[in-house]
């Protein structure tokens, strides 16, 4: 196998297009290994990043200098590693937008990054939830706060607020229903 890959590399360096295609296929695992360090397989960018990897390999065939005493595969491995690392850093840096910025400018979201879009949606949902919470009665707010945010049990809430156990259950149920109906309209 080692002599096989060396022969393929040798022919590829000489400019043989058939062997270059073979080399690209053989180096697919190396490319995917680097991509999957930063992106999930389901990410739509993976296909584009695969082709970028092919470009890096083909460029490496042109740039490779055997006199430097580094094996071609090591050379390609390093170039791919740094390409994907830098690509990921740039994409993270360029896609950092805040909800406040989006609300102030009224601009559409420029990133296709699922993680960034999910973060923005989550922040908007939290803001809508807090707005809805403020419309609840003080007692309903206290019950939900103690139950969901502070982790109190129904029994502990009834003791803390000096209410009947069943009353706490009813208050909590009604408050959650109110939140669902009010927040549902805000989140659409």
Q: Where are the domains of the chain?
A: 2-94, 99-187
Domain formed by 99-187, architecture = Orthogonal Bundle (1.10)
Pair 186, 131: CB distance under 8 Å: yes
pTM for the structure as a whole? 0.49
Under 8 Å between Cβ of 144 and 175:
yes
Q: Among 165, 144, 145, which Cα is nearest to 156's? A: 165
How large a percentage of the chain has pLDDT more than 70?
A: 77
pLDDT digits (tens, 9 = 90+) for 91-105: 766 554 444 444 444
| Dihedral sign, Cα of residue 162, residue 163, residue 169, residue 172 | negative
Distance CA 36, CA 109 (A): 25
CA gap 146, 144 in Å, rounded:
5
C-alpha 125 chain-centroid distance: 18
pLDDT tens digits for 11-28? 999 999 999 999 999 999
Kindly tell me the number of DSSP H helices and DSSP E strands found in the chain: 10, 0
Residues counted in the chain: 188
- Range 42-50 average pLDDT: 85
- CATH number of the domain at 2-94, please? 1.10.1740
Reported as half-sphere exposure (CB side, CA atoms, 13 A), residue 102 has a value of 16
Kindly give the interhelix angle for 28-35 and 45-63, rounded to the nearest 10 degrees.
Answer: 130
Name, in order, each residue with C-beta under 8 angstroms of 24's C-beta and a sequence gap of 6 or more: 54, 57, 58
pLDDT beyond 50 at 3: yes
In the DSSP assignment, the letter for residue 145 is I
Please state, in angstroms and rounded to a whole number, the distance separating the CA atoms of residues 128 and 101.
Answer: 17
């Amino acid at each position: 196998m080692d002599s096989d890959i060396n022969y393929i590399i040798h022919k590829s360096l000489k400019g043989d297009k058939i062997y270059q295609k073979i080399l690209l296929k053989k180096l697919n695992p190396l490319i995917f290994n680097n991509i999957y360090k930063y992106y999930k397989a389901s990410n739509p960018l993976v296909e584009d990043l695969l082709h970028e990897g092919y470009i890096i390999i083909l460029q490496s065939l042109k740039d490779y200098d055997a006199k430097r005493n580094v094996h071609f595969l090591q050379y390609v491995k390093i170039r791919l590693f740094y390409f994907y690392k830098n690509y990921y850093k740039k994409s993270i840096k360029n896609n950092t937008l805040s909800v406040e910025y989006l609300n102030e400018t009224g601009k559409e979201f420029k990133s296709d990054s699922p993680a960034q879009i999910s973060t923005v949606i989550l922040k908007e949902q939290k803001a809508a939830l807090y707005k809805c919470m403020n419309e609840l009665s003080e007692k309903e707010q206290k019950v939900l706060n103690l139950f969901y945010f502070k982790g109190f049990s129904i029994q502990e809430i009834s003791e803390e607020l000096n209410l009947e156990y069943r009353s706490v259950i009813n208050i909590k149920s009604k408050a959650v229903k109110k939140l669902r109906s009010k927040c549902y309209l805000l989140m659409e």
